[in-house]
Structures are given as structure tokens and as C-alpha cells.
Amino acid sequence: MTTQRYTVTPHPIDTLLTWVKSGEIAIPEIQRPFVWDATKVRNLLDSLYHGYPIGYLIVWRNPTVKLKDGTLSAGKRILIDGQQRVTALMAALLGREVLTKDYETVRIRIAFNPKEEVFQVANPAIDKDVAWLPDLADLFSPTAKLLQITKSYCVANSGVDEDDLFGTLERLRKIINNHVGVIELDEVLDIETVTEIFIRVNSAGAELSQADFAMSKIAANETYGGNMLRKAIDYFCHLAVAPEFYGRIEKGDAEFARSEFFSKMAWLKDVNDDIYDPSYTDMLRVAFTSEFGRGKLQDLVALLSGRNFETKQYEEAIAKESFERLKNGIITFMNKTHHDRLFMILRSAGFVTRGLIGGKNTVNFAYILYLRAKAEGVPSDDIEHLVRQWFVMTMLTGRYSGTPESEFDQDIRQIEAHGVAKYVPSVIAAELSESFWTSLLPQQLETSSIVSPYFLVYQAAQVKLKDKGFLSRDITVHDLLLNRSDVHHLFPRKYLKEQGLQRGQYNQIANYALAQSEINIAIGAKAPKVYFAELKVQCQKGKKRYGGIVNMDELKENLSAHAIPQEIFDGLADNYDMFLQERRKLMAAKLKTYFDKL
């Protein structure tokens, strides 16, 4: 029989709020943006007023940690589910300010109409309407005098029965006596079990990730500066998306502005053309994996708790060291030179726009690889070569698609054992064998997704190889990607639809080519044999109909650059299926040529 690993205890809301104020329960999310809109806060209070349940809260006690003097320190309870609800109550009933998703500090005021017994988000119109109590926090203040509030309201609202009103307000104030079930998870549970419990209990809510647990651990630890470290992670990620936010941090968070972190992220305020904006999960993955040589964030949670993996005990010294190492990893991640070098490398491989970057984890591990190679003293030119090839290999093989942690962990452990310069070439040789290029890749190119990693890498290859746009004499693929370009259907979509083909058939990667919009429009729905015949005439007579190419050798060179079989001028223009097969082979061969140049 399995032992129950949790307890369930009902507690009054007033008790929970007291615990939060005293620090008995840590709510790390209180320092992060409050994602509920004000109407959700109103609805929560309405539910409490009518005696409806508002769900369970889940707390998980930090492990008991061994201190330097040998004594044990019981950890705080961390509120891992219910943060938004508790924050909403603190905002509405205690008048606490919250951070919005734009990192602005605001008050959420909930108004109450005692005559109608309804709640509403306060607004200027309600503030002027004497039928409303504009801010519930005034009613719940420790210094609030209920009788005085009742008399003032009755003076402003003639005809209101004073006793009835007093009873209504008294019922409202008693909502803090409503009980909420608190599920306390056993401190010995591991992170994966806690995650599973969260998902099962809170299946309707957002999935809690390992990164969420790690961020909670970081924020809840003030002893080793975790609260400031968490702010650094949040602010960096927000600045990466909104550089103009820099001034708001500078003015609105003076304490952080004086910290060592703020100056290290100042460069972001001048960046508007980046190809990668990390989330806090990305930042943690790179910082942790590169610094600790481990790839699973559950290990980070354990280490920040002080876990000794050999003795299975928790030690304060390990927690302290882990916070120091994570801080080093975060500072290294934020380094402008490292960012500039990494994205210079990716751009040199043809990935010149955000749209060409596949899943973020391909970038994350490329960054890890760059940092490890640099730490190992690998020469700069070799680092560039290794990172370029690894990045493209991982995109073409989908190495980090789906759940990446196991692959991250395996790769970083092998790098720890063998070094970057030895491990990377061995993996590439195994993954990208000759049969990959000649057999597997042409098969993988049989897809209709315009955001397929194969089509993204193919476009990057055209940038790297300095190809011109389809039928363009001067405009390059690079130019088209940075400006306005059309994904042209070589066998026009309308033409194929008229032949009875479905979306998945006419939208094939092997039917795509990047072209100037005017060229795409000029071709329209013409049959391939028609417009390719007209292209031959254009090269013979010099009269331009599609683009500026008027020389047959130049036209063939352009078609070759786009992996279009020369047989398109013959019978292949009438055979769509055969065209796709032949072009896939040529596209795969082009990708091989490109890869060898990285």
C-alpha cells in the first residue's frame, strides 16, 4: 500500500494572507508580472461573496537543509499553484500593488455596490457614482470603521436602510473567513512527482514546467540573492523584446538599477534587429547547461535546494555554491560580446532573419556549444565552423524538437567527457552520412510546411551561396528575405487547383521558390510549359516579361541556383510529380554543398 505523500487542510483566507505577509509561505510569483486581468479579480471576489469554492492551493515545503554548524533548517513552504489567486486577494483586499505584464506597478481596485450586491472593476465613472464603494481595500483595512462607512454611505444614498447595509458590508468582510483547501506536498517528493501532481490537480490550468519550479526556487531564496537574480532574468528577457523598457526599470526599480546586473544588460536598449529573443526558460537552459555540465532543469532545482547527489542529503554549502554558479552562468549569458559573436556566426551561415530560425532550442544549444568551446580554448575560427555546422545539423535532424532535455543532457555530458572539438565532428559524421543526403533528406523534403526546418535551412543556404531571387538578375535572396518577397509556386497554385490537386499537393517545398512580388504577379496562373517557353523567347529576343534575365546561360544559372531541373524546358514542365522528385534530389544536393562550406 502506497503511503500518502501529502496532507489536505482547510485554512481561512485571512490565515493564508497572514502567512504570506509574514513569509511563512513564499510566493515567488509576487515579483513577476501578474497575468490575470482585473475582471478575473472581480470574479474571484464575487465567487467568495456567494460562498463558491475557489479551488485548492498547492504548497511544497523546501527540503530541510543541513547548515554549516550541523543543525537543520526547515524550509519555507513554496506556493506552487494558486499564486495568481493569492496575489489577486492581496491586491484587492490589502491594497497591494502588482506588476503588470509590461512591468508597470499598478493598483487593482475592485468596487462594490451594496444595494445591488455586485462587484466591478473600479473606473472613473464608478468613482463618481455614490452608489459604489470604489475600493474594497478601504473596507478591509485594519483601521476601517464599518459603522462609520455605513453611515457615510446612507447619507450619500437616501432611502438605504442602515441596518440592511451594515449587514451586507459585514457579510462582505467575512469572506476572509471562507476556507480554502491547502494541499501540502511532502518535502521528500522529487521535482518530477511534484510536476505530475500539479498537472493532475490543475489540468485546466497552464502546465507548470521545470523552469517554473527553478524560477520559484531562485526567487524564494533571499540568502544568496535569488530574488535579485530572478529579476535579472525577467528584466533581460523583457528588454530583449522591448528595448524601450530600459528607462522604466531605471526609474521604477532603483534597487535593481544599482545592482551589478543592470549595467550588464544595458546594451539591449539599443538592439532592435536581433534574431532571437530568449524566454526565461531559454536563459536558464543555456546558463545551467553551460555552467554545470548538466541538461535537466530538475537537477538545477535539486542543486539550488542543496541536494548532494551522492549522499542524497541536502547541504547548505551546495545550495550556496549552486546559486553562485548559476549567477555566473546568467552573467555569462547576458554578455554582449557573446551574443554578438553567436549571432554573427548564425548570420554567417545564412540565418539573417528571425523567420529563418527554427525552434529556440537549436539556438540555445548553439549558444551552449559556443560558450563551452570558448571555455575550452578552441580557436575562434574553429568555434565558428563547429557552431555553424552543429546548428544546421540540429535543424536538419530535429535533434532538439519536442522535449529536448534528454538530448541536452546527453550532449553536454559527452562534451564534458571528450571536449567540443572531438565530440561535434563525430556526431555530425554519424548523423549526416552520405545516405542522409542522397536518400533520407529528399524524402524529408516531401512536405508542404513553409516553416519546415528543411525549407528554412534551404533559404539560409541560398543566402550563404549568394543566390539571386527566382528570375532576378540583381536582387539576391538575402535582399528578398530582408525586404518583401513572395514564396512563388513554380507550378502555380491556381493552375494545380484547376488540375484537381489539393492543398497538401500544390503546397510542396519542392514547388517553392523565393521571388520578387512583381515576377510572381507576372507569372500568375500560367502553366509552367507556357511561361518557361516564354522565358526562352525572352532570352532570344531580349523583351523582358519576367524579371531582367535576357541571356540563356544566365537563365540556366539562375535555375540551377534554385535547384530547378534543366529538363523543365522539356517534358518535365508537364509532369508535376516527376518535377517534385527531381527537384528534391537537387535541393538535397544543394544543401550538402552548402553544409560543406560552413
Number of C-alpha atoms within 13 angstroms, CB side, residue 241?
10
Do 266 and 279 reside in the same domain of the chain? yes
Confirm whether 435 is domain-assigned.
Answer: no
Do 76 and 178 reside in the same domain of the chain? yes
pLDDT higher than threshold 80 for residue 2: no
Q: State how far the Cα of 62 lies from the Cα of 77, in Å rounded to an integer.
A: 6
Q: Last residue of some domain: 201, 219, 244?
A: 201
Confirm whether 437 is domain-assigned.
Answer: no
From 280, 314, 313, select the one nearest 297 (Cα to Cα). Answer: 280
Do 393 and 480 reside in the same domain of the chain? no
Q: Last residue of some domain: 300, 334, 368?
A: 334
Confirm whether 159 is domain-assigned.
Answer: yes
pLDDT higher than threshold 70 for residue 531: yes
Do 237 and 347 reside in the same domain of the chain? no
Do 140 and 266 reside in the same domain of the chain? no
526 CB burial (10 A radius; 0-12, 13-18, 19+): middle
Tell me: the pLDDT tens digits for 242-254?
Answer: 888 888 888 888 8
Confirm whether 19 is domain-assigned.
Answer: yes
Do 21 and 115 reside in the same domain of the chain? yes
pLDDT higher than threshold 60 for residue 29: no
Residue 260: all three cell numbers together = 551589478
Question: Could you tell me where the beta strands, DSSP code E, fall in 225-311?
Answer: none
Quote the number of domains for the chain. 4
Do 511 and 473 reside in the same domain of the chain? yes
SS3 120: strand
Residue of higher predicted confidence among 192 and 508: 508
Residue 574: all three cell numbers together = 508537364
Do 156 and 253 reside in the same domain of the chain? no
Do 217 and 347 reside in the same domain of the chain? no
The percentage of residues in the chain with a pLDDT greater than 90, rounded to a whole number, is 60
pLDDT band at 229; cut points 50, 70, 90: very high
Confirm whether 307 is domain-assigned.
Answer: yes
Top mean-pLDDT range of 105-119, 417-431, 523-537: 417-431
Do 414 and 316 reside in the same domain of the chain? no
Residue of higher predicted confidence among 78 and 597: 597
Q: State how far the Cα of 468 lies from the Cα of 479, in Å rounded to an integer.
A: 9
Residue pair 353/482 in contact by the 8 Å Cβ criterion: yes
Residue pair 323/219 in contact by the 8 Å Cβ criterion: no
Q: State how far the Cα of 471 lies from the Cα of 249, in Å rounded to an integer.
A: 50
Supply the DSSP string of 340-401, one letter for each residue.
Answer: HHHHHHHHHTT--SGGG---HHHHHHHHHHHHHHHHTT--HHHHHHHHHHHHHHHHHHTTTS
φ, ψ at 381 (rounded to 5°)? -65, -40
From 198, 236, 243, select the one nearest 55 (Cα to Cα). Answer: 198
pLDDT at 205: 47
User: In this predicted structure, which of 30-44, 321-335, 451-465 has the lowest mean pLDDT?
Assistant: 30-44
Mean pLDDT, the chain, whole residue set:
88
- Domain range holding 497? 442-596
* Burial 377-404, CB ≥16 within 10 A → b, else e: ebeeeebbbbbbbbbbbbbbbebbeeeb
Q: Pairing mode, if any, of strands 77-81 and 57-61? A: antiparallel
pLDDT at 32: 54
Q: Last residue of some domain: 277, 307, 334?
A: 334
Do 94 and 108 reside in the same domain of the chain? yes
CA 254 to chain centre: 27
SS3 240: helix
Confirm whether 305 is domain-assigned.
Answer: yes
Confirm whether 579 is domain-assigned.
Answer: yes
Tell me: the pLDDT tens digits for 133-162?
Answer: 999 999 999 899 999 999 999 999 999 999
Residue 118: all three cell numbers together = 455586485
pLDDT at 196: 64
pLDDT at 31: 43
pLDDT at 63: 62
pLDDT mean over 189-209 = 59
Residue 358: all three cell numbers together = 527554427
Confirm whether 197 is domain-assigned.
Answer: yes
Do 414 and 301 reside in the same domain of the chain? no
Q: State how far the Cα of 576 lies from the Cα of 247, in Å rounded to an integer.
A: 57
Residue 544: all three cell numbers together = 523582358
pLDDT higher than threshold 60 for residue 309: yes
Could you tell me the pTM of the whole model?
0.79
Angle at which helix 38-49 crosses helix 83-94, to 10 degrees, equals: 80
